[in-house]
A and B are shown apart, each in its own frame.
Chain A
Amino acid sequence: MLKTVGAAALKDIIGMLKQEKNFFEADASTRKVVLDKHLPDFPEGFVTYLSDVTENQFMKDMSASVRLMTERVHVDQNGFLKALAAYLSIDLGLAVDQLDSEFFFMDYSARLSKLKSLFPGDFALSLVMRHMVAEATYQEVSHMANQALSTISAVPVIVIQTPIAIDPAQRQAMRQAFLEKYTHSFPEFQINPQIIGGMRVFVNGMVEDHSWLAKVQALTRLKI
């Protein structure tokens, strides 16, 4: 996922730079206007990065991103990768949270049209994301995102189990909270009816159990 999404973002940026050869000579606000013109709805992380980066730094980041093919590069060393990690953890995460269980039973074309609103724009990045999410299950998207993020950042594996599906707003709030605590994390939401009520949170295998099942088990573990 990292290479595909990274390559798509890069393609969009280079396409824009070909048309705006003096891009790096402009100031931040001018750059934003240019980006809005050529890449409307481009992810905010990339827009911020491109608005502030110098040409030299941009070339260094590109060269380091290419080296990612053969060696590990940490997100803190590379502005482009940082923007990419933010896109995957925030934009992709929040978009996926808005998909209900019905989405995954739709046919491919129906899914693509639904995803147009979540990944707007006709540039390579949004096209790649739409197709990637349409072709995968929720668990596959989650797994791919976690794998991509762990390549460039030390992110914990977070799983949240609830007894029933929770509404998208609640899910987004939880994701936001985890992002504040663990930057570039990608929590996965699972439904486990056995826990009856409450929730369980797994962070790198360590569990915090606030489920009703745990409460009943604790109650029944008391000595007679």
Chain B
Amino acid sequence: MESLARLGISGWDLLLYAVNFGLVVWLVARYMTKPMLKMLDERRDTIKKNLDEAEELRTQMAKQQEAMEKQKAEMQAQLAEELSKSRKEIEEKRKAAEAEIDAKKAKMLEEVQAVIAEEKANILRSAEDQALKLMQKVVLHIVSNQIPEEVVQSSVKTAWSQYNK
């Protein structure tokens, strides 16, 4: 108590302080604590509700995402399948086109070779014909200008006897 007196605090001050403190505590407890607690409860409820909603949204989102993932996977699979089909078709068409080109090439080559062979034969035939015609002209010229009349008359008689056989 002497220490408190040295500090300037008396018993009455202590009592007053205690009563004052108690009053403040009673006032705060009565008029602030409840609303504060109510407010805290409300706030906690709100926060919980929000959290729940968020959780629900998160769950929904997760489901949606799962569904989307699934759909995406399906579409990818479908796309891959179609791509593979298209690749096969393109490959087949390419092969068919290549085969057609090869066949056309072969046919053209054959035709060209046939034309060349025909031209060769024609040239040869033409050369032969010309040589024969020239030979014929030369022989006829010699024969028609150099034969005596008696020989010709004799030839007529010979031809007549051949005809009459």
Contact = CB atoms under 8 A, between A and B. Distances in A.
Interface of A: 162-164, 166-167, 170, 174, 177, 193, 196-199, 201, 208, 210-213, 216-217, 219-221, 223-224
Contacts of B132: 220-221, 224
Nearest to B158: A198
B3 interface: no
A170 B158 CA distance: 12
Interface of B: 128, 131-133, 135-136, 139-140, 143-144, 147, 149, 151-153, 155-160, 162-164
Contact of B153 (A164, A196, A201, A211): A164
A221 B135 CA distance: 10
Contacts of B164: 177
Contacts, number: 62
23 contacts: A163-B155, A163-B156, A164-B149, A164-B152, A164-B153, A170-B160, A197-B152, A197-B156, A199-B156, A201-B163, A210-B163, A212-B155, A216-B136, A216-B140, A216-B143, A217-B136, A219-B139, A220-B132, A220-B133, A220-B135, A220-B136, A223-B128, A224-B128
A170 B136 contact: no
B140 A199 contact: no
B133 to A, nearest CB: 8
A213 B163 contact: no
Nearest to B136: A220
